[in-house]
Structure 1
Amino acid sequence: MKRSKVNRLFLILGLIGLVIINSWALNASIKEKDLPKKYRDFLDLVAYIILPEEKEVFLQLTTDRDRDLFIESFWKQRDPTPGTPQNEFREEHIRRFNYANKFFKRNSPREGWRTDMGRFYIILGPPASIERFEGTLGIHPTQVWYYYGDPAKGLPTHFALVFFQRGGAGEYRLYDPVSDGPGALLVNSQGIAPEDYEAFYEKIRELAPTLADVSLTRLPGEFPYNFQPSPRNNILLADILKSPKKNINPSYATHFLEYKGLVSTEYMTNYVESMGTVAIIRDPLMGIPFVHFAVSPKKISLDYYEPKDQYFCNFTLNASLRQGDNIILQYQRNYPFYFDPEQLPRIKGNGLAIEDSFPGIEGEYKLIVLLQNSIGKEFCVYEKNIVIPPPSNQPRLGIPLLAYKVQSYSQEIHIPFKIFQQKYIVDPSNTFAVEDTIWVVTQVNGLERELWEQGKLRLVVRGLKAGEAFEKAYNIFLNTYPFRQSIFVSYSLSANKLPPDYYELWVQLLGIDGSLLDEKKVNFIVSPMKAVSHPIAHSKAMPLRNNFLYFFMQAQAYEKVGLLDKAQSAYQRGFNLNPNYKEGLVFFANFLNKTKQFDDCLQLISKLRDDEKFRFQYHLIRGQALMGKGNYAEAITELEEGNRIYNSDTSLLNSLGYCYYQSGELQKAQKVLQASLKLNQKQPNIQKMLTYIERALKEK
């Protein structure tokens, strides 16, 4: 695996800071009747197959461009042969819709697709056979449609739908054995009590023998008890109506709405489902918590580079921690992946898991990982609510991490899912083959010596199969590990000792007296197969000599949530580790200015006095610190010098305007504040200040 460069993170930390993406608040819905006709027609076309979540998202889109992209995504989710130019599902659905409009409008004031016959023709397609009773003496015009059902969609292998003209006129309606009853099919049912289903059945049997059975049940061959229509009729009807929506994951639609401001337009129609896993591990060397994650797209497009005889894909990863609409931390990295032709079958069979990690701060967050593959213009999203616990003196367990393999790495690098010199190879699905080893790793924090000497962990593995499920417990004594306040406990289980099943694993921390101090749970699967296609892990290593970057990331996150003491401590620690990291020095100096530590800021920024690359930052930050101290004349000198280097920075212009104002130079203040507002009109405080200055100039 390739080592990452310092500049990769610097580009995010130093040049662009924290990227702000669009608000996640849902837009107000547009009423269907207010949509342009083109999009009302689309909703008519898909009325019987669109999920409620999909329709809700569609009605929140505000531009025709977004609606067109959504429609393209909608059909792609249902394409049985993705990757080919033809979408057979879409073509067949449109054919059915047009057929329904053409042939089922007869005798109906409604459009053909809105009729009962039209609805079920669109959902199920043409019946395997039709039996007509349209000239049968004593029977209202009736048709019986026979279908072969698809069990994968929750339908029985065969069933029948009956349509009839109620009262002998009008459009064909779906016949319901329960609410209509067999008597509704008869022209003359006089003399038969409404509840006498047997008499109705016998009379229909005399007139149309094959119609009699389906008058009581939609399931041929299932004769109802005591001639009473079975409740299964309504269950079947519900299953039919749900069948076209089965196996459609609406997450693509919600992601379309949420990420349309962040994901490039050409990617929006190519949402790919994914699996992911996350672990919160307090790094034993740096002493700060890291969020480790792995995301595995269920589909990966590849390209071939002929000059080197290699296949490749190229992922851009964007990871963030959010609290509501606030982005606490965000960064971006690139993950190109090249491999030889002989590796192609394994890549196609196993897939890839993109791994990464970053430092976090205590709190509750939503982790969002966005992956975009430039080959195929695809994107996937992994979201997970996580809790990063604060340091504590109380005994506490971390969430267990499960892995199927362990590899040794140098202790001098940081890499996802590595603890000391052991990297744990994870499968985001937590699925293990019979021949796999299941590695269980958990972190025990807040240990005191007495608990370490006499306490233990208990691992309880419990199968979830109904009946006699497998259950077994394993004890691990804490004193088998060297004493630290935070230790990592690793234990291996042989999957072949566990029957194939879904499992939950409880890790319990037991005190000196055997009392339960804490427990955490994780789920996993043992497959009956000898081998499972685990995705190939792809990650980047960071040399520990560059760990100062992590402290600057952490400092910015603390600053974002207003924990300024912790932010300053993290800035100081990062700076102490590498005083020559100029970008970090700029961050730290800006922080000192914001927290009104002007003398400290001036002392720190003086280190950039002779650095040509950072001349603008030097004059800007120094000028703002002098302004904060009330030394307006000196501040003006520095800020004017900075403005000569770069004259389009609103922060500098606003500071310079304020200094001019405080020095009584109102015309100069007016000029630079007007320039600032030209760059950004949405500065209400600057607008108020400018109005005050203009009023003062008029009064002179």
Structure 2
Amino acid sequence: MRLINLKRLLFSFIFIFLIAPLNVTVFSQPIKKLPPRFKQWLEEEVVYIITSTEKEVFLQLKTDKERELFIKAFWKQRDPTPGTPENEFKEEHYRRINYANHHFGRGVPKPGWQTDRGRIYIILGEPRDIQSYTGNSEIFNAEVWFYQGLSQYGLPPGFNLIFYQKNNVGEYVLYSPSSDGPQALLTSYFGDQADYMAAYRTLKRINPALANISLSLIPGERAQFGRPSLASDILLQNIISVPKKRLNDIYAKKFLMYKDIVEVDYSTNYIDNNHSVKIFQDPTGLFFVHYAVELNKFSVQQFKQTYSTHLKINGYVADHQDKTIYQFENSFSIKLNEEEIKKIYYLPFDLYDMFPLIPGSYQFSIIVKNEVSKEFTTFEKEITIPAETSSARLSSLILSYKLDKRPTDSKRLKPFKIGDHQLFFQPRNIFRPQDTLFVGFQILNLDPSLIQKTKLKFEFLKESQPFLTEVKKVSQYPDRMNFIQEFPLEKFPPGHYQIKISLIENEKEISSQMERFEISPAAAIPRPWVYSREILPPTHPLYSLIIGRQLFNKGEMEKAEKLLAAAYNSKPDSLEYALSLAKVYFALHKYAQTKRLLLPFANSENVPYQLYLILGNSHQLLGEFQEAIGIYKQAIDQFGLTFNLLNSLGECYYRLGLKEEALASWEKSLEIKPNQPEITKKIKNLKKGLYPKLIGDDKSRNIPSASCRG
């Protein structure tokens, strides 16, 4: 069995380090507090290649284990061949450091990696050519290094770097045409230090080749107005910025965010993604969140002629008070044969999915884990589900490269399907002039009496300038909720665009939506292999269960009760449905209804802990202490002793006059969790013969938060 990366990027890495002042800055007090090996790693080994984001994240890590995992992730992000056991970038990096220390640290009071020649060697590797100028009494010892073929890093096709030895003593320092000038290379120049051309003429008389390079490090660049070319200083600045350009350091932020959430096996294997989230309403009025994730890397395992992987999706929705509204977990098992794997080998992989959500503004986050390769990716998105209003409004826009008309006799739902049209799109919204742009959207709450007076205005902007405008009557479309508008792109030159759709009612704009897209000059754009699946029809009781749980978590108990009761009545034999409704009854102090609902399930197999706890507390709050004790003992038999169960058990014993049993239960609870001031007080009062305050005296409930999960 072996892992295959379906989207391996075939490129080579160059080792780019920051060209900075010679003294390495100690950034902050936290660096001083690092253990020596991590301090050395940060300040010496990777000081030139680590980005500011990576450094900031590293300094926020609390344990050596976290730092070790981060370092592992740091090198993985730079590995040009992640499917092999070797990390060529890391090996070459340390080889260059060792070379610099050995060759450039002689006769200077610092290690070679800190010298300018050492740094440049580590940054750019072996020069194509080195010219040495020594032994001339009129110029300081100098070396000229020539590099070529590094334009992919924003550097010129060919360029020189000069290192010279001030006063012919100590290390060779990096030369700047504007900061140093030709005069810095001369041992005996007594002219005007600001007169670069006079110094240049003197140097040219001594060494014409070195003189030409002294005014510009870039072949073909000439001095302007008697001053060295600024292009040389831009070159040096570009070298400084290359590490930031070549690496997407978002993985570092994700490592910090998710190190305590994802398993250790995944934490160092973050992969980037493109994503998109859209909100649409189904015919029954439910709003669904549709999301697409395009993985920058997709790995499968091979066993004989079968290729497979397993993706696990964890979704989380919270309001702006960090209250959990909805959580879900989905799994996608993917199997491919030899022919299928060949078709998709070089294609992006897009995952489409959807779920229902109640009105409100939320933070939505997703974790996608590849359980075969132990890789993960995430995204976070602010989303808003509109509240019920009487005014018309536009939904999200989908910019699609492909449209399939699907039969409507199937009531099942599918991500990014509007009406009977299935839209295919990529989160990056990139097209060719040969494509047709299909724009999909909805108009919600459209008043039938105003259809003849309502228009849609389509405005295209190219590079922020007006490009194309079209206006259409809503009455021209056959479907008055789900809309598809086509735009051939043959007259759209390559560039960056925006499309704005406005809903015009009685010549007044009442709603609008905007989306960006790009027209590429590329001859072909690899369209993704899309993995999606149909889900249950919107009339299925599962949606009442999910929406009811969300309302419960939001604190809207009456609405939650109505939906969860409807769901339970559709599936009265379901423990899951019964327990969700019971939580609402219990929160509304309907203890008798809670008891009647849960008792039929008390002796079932795989009874969850919360059922025992809620059922026991319901008996207890109804004064049925003996029955409550029986339920708590069942829970202890199934799940062992917990302080919550022991506390409730102790109170029931006390109510029945069994003070010794009550005392034993509470004391055992303190052994499990010593810091319980209220229980400690009850024990003291009981031993003194006083009457402790018990559950039910003020209708308090000794149960943990019983939030509903989806």
> Which bin holds the TM-score, normalised by the shorter protein?
0.7 to 0.9
Residue of structure 2 aligned with 1:510, choices 504, 507, 510: 504
Q: CA deviation at 1:692?
A: 0.8
Residue of structure 1 aligned with 2:308, choices 312, 324, 331: 312
How does 1:232-271 map onto structure 2 within 5 Å? 232-271=231-270
In structure 1, what is the equivalent of residue 23 of structure 2?
Answer: none
In structure 2, what is the equivalent of residue 295 of structure 1?
Answer: 293
CA change 1:434–1:344 in 2 (3 A) is farther
Q: Deviations along 1:580-616, whole A, 9 cap, x unmatched?
A: 3321211210222123232432343355477566597
Q: CA deviation at 1:407?
A: 4.3
Does the 8 A contact of 1:155 with 1:236 survive in 2? yes
CA change 1:642–1:142 in 2 (3 A) is closer
CA change 1:391–1:674 in 2 (3 A) is farther
How does 1:135-214 map onto structure 2 within 5 Å? 135-190=135-190, 192-214=191-213
Letter in 2 for 1:443: Q
Whether 2:385 is the aligned partner of 1:388: answer yes
In structure 2, what is the equivalent of residue 653 of structure 1?
Answer: 646
User: Partners in 1 of 2:576 and 2:596 — Cα distance?
Assistant: 16
Whether 2:396 is the aligned partner of 1:399: answer yes
CA change 1:218–1:343 in 2 (3 A) is same
Does the 8 A contact of 1:636 with 1:659 survive in 2? yes
Does the 8 A contact of 1:657 with 1:670 survive in 2? yes
What is the alpha-carbon root mean square deviation over aligned residues? Answer: 2.8
Q: Deviations along 1:400-449, whole A, 9 cap, x unmatched?
A: 12222224155321222233443323323322345544322212223223
Does the 8 A contact of 1:434 with 1:531 survive in 2? no
Larger displacement relative to structure 2 (288-297 or 137-146): 137-146
Q: Helix, strand or coil: the match of 2:345?
A: helix
Does the 8 A contact of 1:670 with 1:690 survive in 2? no
Letter in 2 for 1:585: A
Larger displacement relative to structure 2 (143-152 or 324-333): 324-333
In structure 2, what is the equivalent of residue 453 of structure 1?
Answer: 452
Q: CA deviation at 1:228?
A: 0.8
In structure 2, what is the equivalent of residue 336 of structure 1?
Answer: 333
User: Partners in 1 of 2:271 and 2:608 — Cα distance?
Assistant: 46
In structure 1, what is the equivalent of residue 418 of structure 2?
Answer: 419
TM-score by length of 2: 0.86
Letter in 1 for 2:454: G
Larger displacement relative to structure 2 (592-601 or 389-398): 592-601
In structure 2, what is the equivalent of residue 21 of structure 1?
Answer: none
CA change 1:100–1:425 in 2 (3 A) is same
Larger displacement relative to structure 2 (247-256 or 322-331): 322-331
Q: CA deviation at 1:239?
A: 0.4
Q: Helix, strand or coil: the match of 2:215?
A: coil
Q: Deviations along 1:115-138, whole A, 9 cap, x unmatched?
A: 222111111112222222221121
Larger displacement relative to structure 2 (204-213 or 77-86): 77-86
User: Partners in 1 of 2:217 and 2:559 — Cα distance?
Assistant: 69
Q: CA deviation at 1:156?
A: 0.6
In structure 2, what is the equivalent of residue 695 of structure 1?
Answer: 684
Q: CA deviation at 1:315?
A: 1.0
In structure 2, what is the equivalent of residue 628 of structure 1?
Answer: 621
CA change 1:388–1:200 in 2 (3 A) is same
Whether 2:52 is the aligned partner of 1:58: answer no
How does 1:95-114 map onto structure 2 within 5 Å? 95-114=95-114
In structure 2, what is the equivalent of residue 439 of structure 1?
Answer: 438
In structure 1, what is the equivalent of residue 352 of structure 2?
Answer: 355
CA change 1:620–1:189 in 2 (3 A) is closer
Does the 8 A contact of 1:439 with 1:490 survive in 2? yes
TM-score by length of 1: 0.87
Task: State the percentage of identical aligned residues.
Answer: 34
User: Partners in 2 of 1:623 and 1:598 — Cα distance?
Assistant: 10
Give the aligned length. 658
Unaligned runs of 5+ in 2: 1-27, 690-710
User: Partners in 2 of 1:434 and 1:105 — Cα distance?
Assistant: 57
Does the 8 A contact of 2:667 with 2:683 survive in 1? no
Letter in 1 for 2:651: Y
Letter in 2 for 1:177: P
Q: CA deviation at 1:282?
A: 2.0
In structure 1, what is the equivalent of residue 468 of structure 2?
Answer: 471
Residue of structure 2 aligned with 1:491, choices 485, 489, 512: 485
CA change 1:625–1:420 in 2 (3 A) is farther
Does the 8 A contact of 2:647 with 2:679 survive in 1? no
Q: CA deviation at 1:217?
A: 2.1
Q: CA deviation at 1:196?
A: 1.6
In structure 1, what is the equivalent of residue 519 of structure 2?
Answer: 526
Q: Deviations along 1:213-236, whole A, 9 cap, x unmatched?
A: 222222232111122123333221
Unaligned runs of 5+ in 1: 1-28
CA change 1:32–1:596 in 2 (3 A) is same
In structure 2, what is the equivalent of residue 81 of structure 1?
Answer: 81
Q: Helix, strand or coil: the match of 2:205?
A: helix
Does the 8 A contact of 1:405 with 1:437 survive in 2? no
CA change 1:112–1:327 in 2 (3 A) is farther
Letter in 2 for 1:330: Q
In structure 1, what is the equivalent of residue 119 of structure 2?
Answer: 119
